Amino acid sequence: MLLCSTWRPLAARAGLRRIAPCGADRTARQLHGTGARANDAADEAKKTLPQKASRIVRTILHGSEQVRQETRDTLSKVLARGKYVHELTTHRVQPGRMDEYRAVVAELYPRIVRDLSPGTKLVGSWETDIGDLDTAVHIWEYQGYPALSTAYHRYRTDPEYRELSRKMLSLLRSRKSQVMLEFQFWPTHPPVAKGGVYELRSYTLKSGTLLEWEHNWRVGVECRKHHEVPMGAWFSQLGTLNQVHHLWQYPDLQVRKEVREAAWSEDGWPATVLNTVPLIQAMSSRIMLPMPFSSLK
């Protein structure tokens, strides 16, 4: 009884639940794969009882053959989303010293982009308005890991950078770095001045669910594009793992409310939420205001 009760949800999971694109006709989905299912049924009938039991046990312990094959086929693609590597740095500033901090990074970070690190771009710099207060968030873009390594070397050896960095560090309570890759279907938005507020939504996923998350959000982001312009999405590679970050921009919080409510009218968005919520271990949202030198502001 325990084996059967455990197998059923795993069997349902193994299909990596499919959702149709926004507004798509579902008839094709119903007809797709009929012949393949008939062949699978014939093969299954030929298997002996020990073979069937062995396959069920392997599925419970290690996941289905289909899921493992899809993982082998697509994981390398997930890890190679183009030539860019991104870094998310989070600085917790001492209370009452944000003005000093802002002045230091306004001098330091544009200089890094201009003089210190060719192949490095600053996607954006923000300070948190709602969420973890007294916190600054910066997203960097490097032309691959060689550019990231070159930048780190220069950070450690350039005298002027080290002096400005010491001033910045004296204003912090803590800092955190995370190296990320961007999703292929959700490229980072180029520099733009839109005003308003930015929202960074961060999700900690259950181990092994990134591909399923990506599969569902390919549809979800198309639904959201009808109401807003996605600014960027990344998944972690170094630092805290199994994390995904989505960046959005809104004129104000009232528009944010209206846009998010309107998304529920899109065919495909409710299924995206239904399929991805079970994959989440933890999530957070922060509303941020861009700093004057930010490329996204």
Identify the weakest region by mean pLDDT among 15-24, 128-137, 174-183, 203-212.
15-24
DSSP 149-215: HHHHHHHHH-HHHHHHHHHHHTTEEEEEEEEEEE-TTSPPPPPB---SEEEEEEEEEPTT-HHHHHH
* CA R_g for the chain: 23
- The whole-chain average pLDDT of the chain stands at 81
Q: What is the distance between the alpha carbons of residues 111 and 276, in angstroms, rounded to a whole number?
A: 40
- The per-residue pLDDT for 48 is 58
Q: Where are the alpha helices (DSSP H) in the chain?
A: 2-14, 27-31, 34-46, 49-62, 65-78, 98-111, 144-157, 159-169, 210-225, 253-263, 269-276
Give the distance, in angstroms, between the CA of residue 172 and the centroid of all CA atoms in the same chain.
26
Q: In this prediction, what percent of the chain has a pLDDT beyond 90? A: 60
Residue 274 has pLDDT above 50, yes or no: yes
Query: Is the CB of residue 159 less than 8 Å from the CB of residue 222?
Result: no
What's the pLDDT score for residue 60? 45
Read off the pLDDT band of 122 (50, 70, 90). very high
pLDDT tens figures, 10-64: 334 434 444 555 654 444 444 444 454 445 555 555 555 555 555 554 444 444 5
86: phi then psi, degrees, rounded to nearest 5: -115, 155
Checking if the pLDDT of 75 tops 90, the result is no
Between 2-6, 63-67, 83-87, 104-108, the lowest mean confidence (pLDDT) is in 2-6
- Which candidate, 185, 239, 240, 189, places its Cα nearest to that of 213? 185
Average pLDDT over residues 234-256: 96
Mean pLDDT of 169-181: 97
Q: How many CA atoms lie within 13 A of 75 on its CB side?
A: 9
Q: 140 pLDDT exceeds 50?
A: yes
Prediction pTM value: 0.75
Band (78; pLDDT cuts 50, 70, 90): low
Structure tokens belonging to residue 41 = 């049924």
Contact in structure between 248 and 116 (CB atoms under 8 Å):
no
Q: Minimum mean pLDDT among 12-21, 97-106, 142-151, 159-168: which range?
A: 12-21
What DSSP state is assigned to residue 148? H
Q: What is the pLDDT of residue 79?
A: 45
How many Cα atoms within 13 Å fall on the side-chain side of residue 177?
7
